């Protein structure tokens, strides 16, 4: 991408892209929040979704995860058109998400929060409980073992019997990511995973996200911390005024005057001097 040019993403679904959207639009009571989001999320990579406050980033994530319907436009997971599918159907295809404000199941323990995440559990069927109890019990034991391993990885093992509501803000962020990992996602949407956490935890979360990439998970993350974006993200999508302004690596976007004017400006210049 050369200076002054806006890269036009090629979308429409396909095996090269884990997730893509074309001309997504959304308004609330006549006020446009998203006016033409068009981008691809490359398979097996970490992609950042950045932009100024009010650019429509969380609205786009809500639409991609099925929590909100778009007014127009299309969305694909791989080659499958999932436009305006319900969230549980999208989750079945392997797309999971976290939230800007953590949504832990506060009345459950940390371990129980992970145990509810796997899809298609045998114990969810009354038929299995009564006719195939050993199957349900064996799967429960396997899920518990895996959940405990994930809690160890994310530094939450010692808190496994605590109620999720008792965790600190940073621990709740970790719990949300761990719960999403428990569901074995193919695509993971992270809405500001670094927001409100201390620098040491930012480093840890960044490491966990890189580990997920190495395990084959595609990640799309909304993030304002440009140092984190530059360190771990392969690709960056810039939203401004509800539309896709540009895509590329952060180093490329620094040379794009329209991106600088719309969002980066002194912020990105400051990040280069650190």
Residue 127 confidence (pLDDT): 60
Where a domain ends, among 140, 166, 192? 166
What confidence tens digit (pLDDT) does each residue in 29-84 have? 889 999 989 999 999 999 999 988 888 999 999 999 999 999 999 999 999 999 99
Q: Is 9 a domain residue?
A: no
What tokens appear for 167 in the block?
């965790």
Are 90 and 21 contained in the same domain?
A: yes
Identify whether residues 23 and 148 lie together within a single domain: no
Q: Which two tokens stand for residue 254?
A: 């620094």
Instruction: Look up residue 121 and give its two tokens.
Output: 């559990």
The answer to whether residue 256 is domain-embedded is: yes
Query: Which residues fall within 8 angstroms of residue 55, CB to CB, at 6 or more apart?
Result: 239, 240, 241, 242, 263
Residue 176 lies in a domain: no
Residue 124, pLDDT score: 55
pTM: 0.82
Q: Give pLDDT, residue 91.
A: 93
pLDDT digits (tens, 9 = 90+) for 146-160: 999 999 999 999 999
Residue 69 tokens, joined? 């319907």
Q: Tell me: do 218 and 240 sit in the same domain.
A: yes
Q: What is the pLDDT of residue 45?
A: 95
User: What DSSP character marks residue 45?
Assistant: S
At 17-31, the pLDDT tens digits run 899 999 999 999 889
Whether residue 173 lies inside any domain: the answer is no
Task: Tell me, yes or no, whether 205 and 137 share the same domain.
Answer: no
pLDDT tens, position by position, 157-183: 999 999 999 999 999 999 999 999 999
Sequence-ordered list of residues with C-beta below 8 angstroms from that of 100, at least 6 positions apart, any chain: 58, 191, 192, 195, 222
pLDDT at 10: 35
Domain that holds residue 126: 105-166
pLDDT for res 264 = 60
CATH of residue 193: 3.40.50.300
- What is the edge-to-edge ordering of all strands in the sheet holding 17-28? 80-81, 72-77, 17-28, 31-42, 243-248, 235-240, 46-50, 218-222, 187-191, 95-97
List pLDDT tens digits, range 104-126: 888 999 999 999 888 665 455 55
Q: Are 90 and 57 in contact (CB under 8 A)?
A: no
Residues 61, 93, single domain; the answer is: yes
Residue 199 has pLDDT above 50, yes or no: yes
| Half-sphere exposure of residue 201: CA atoms within 13 angstroms, side-chain side | 18
Assess whether 221 and 268 both reside in one domain: yes
Is residue 46 a part of any domain in this protein?
Answer: yes
Asked if residue 260 and residue 136 are part of one domain, the reply reads no
Whether residue 154 is found in the same domain as residue 260: no
- Same domain? For 117 and 128 the reply is yes
Report pLDDT for 125.
53
pLDDT of residue 241: 87
Phi and psi based region of residue 260 (left: phi greater than 0; alpha: psi -120 to 50; beta: remaining): alpha
Measured distance CA(215)–CA(40) in Å, rounded: 20
Q: Are residue 94 and residue 27 in the same domain, yes or no?
A: yes
Q: Are residues 39 and 83 in the same domain?
A: yes
Nearest CA among 193, 249, 190, 149 for reference residue 64: 190
- Note the pLDDT of residue 100: 83
Kindly report, residue by residue over 2-14, the tens digit of the pLDDT.
333 333 333 444 4
Within-domain flag for 3? no
Residue 175 belongs to some domain of the structure: no
How far out from the chain centre does Cα 97 lie? 5
Q: Is residue 192 part of a domain?
A: yes
Domain edge (last residue) among 166, 196, 216 = 166
Which are the contacts of 111, defined by CB distance < 8 A and separation ≥ 6?
144, 147, 148, 151, 160, 161
Q: What is the pLDDT of residue 172?
A: 95
Residues 142 and 221 in one domain: no
- What pLDDT does 265 receive? 53
Q: How many structural domains does the chain have?
A: 2
User: Cβ(19)–Cβ(76) under 8 Å?
Assistant: yes
pLDDT tens-digit profile of 247-262? 998 888 888 888 887 7
Please check the confidence at residue 130 and state whether its pLDDT lies above 60: no
């Amino acid at each position: 991408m050369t200076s002054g040019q806006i890269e036009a993403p090629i979308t429409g679904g396909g095996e090269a892209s884990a997730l893509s959207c074309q001309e997504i639009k959304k308004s609330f009571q006549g006020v446009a929040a998203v006016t033409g989001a068009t981008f691809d999320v490359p398979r097996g990579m970490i992609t950042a979704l950045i932009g100024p406050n009010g650019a429509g980033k969380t609205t786009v994530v809500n639409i991609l995860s099925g929590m909100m319907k778009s007014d127009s436009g299309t969305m694909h997971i791989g080659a499958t058109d999932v436009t305006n599918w319900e969230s549980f159907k999208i989750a079945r295809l392997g797309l999971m998400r976290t939230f800007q404000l953590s949504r832990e199941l506060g009345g459950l323990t940390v371990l129980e929060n992970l145990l509810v995440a796997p899809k298609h559990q045998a114990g969810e069927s009354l038929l299995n409980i009564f006719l195939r109890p050993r199957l349900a019990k064996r799967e429960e034991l396997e899920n518990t073992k895996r959940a405990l391993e994930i809690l160890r990885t994310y530094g939450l093992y010692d808190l496994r019997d605590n109620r999720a509501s008792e965790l600190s803000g940073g621990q709740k962020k970790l719990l949300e990511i761990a719960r999403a990992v428990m569901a074995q996602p193919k695509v993971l949407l992270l809405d500001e995973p670094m927001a409100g956490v201390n620098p040491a935890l930012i480093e840890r979360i960044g490491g966990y996200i890189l580990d997920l990439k190495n395990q084959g998970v595609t990640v799309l993350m909304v993030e304002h911390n440009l140092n984190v974006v530059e360190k771990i993200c392969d690709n960056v999508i810039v939203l401004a005024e509800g539309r896709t302004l540009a895509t590329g690596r952060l180093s490329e976007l620094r040379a794009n005057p329209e991106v600088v004017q719309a969002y980066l400006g002194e912020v990105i210049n400051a990040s280069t001097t650190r």
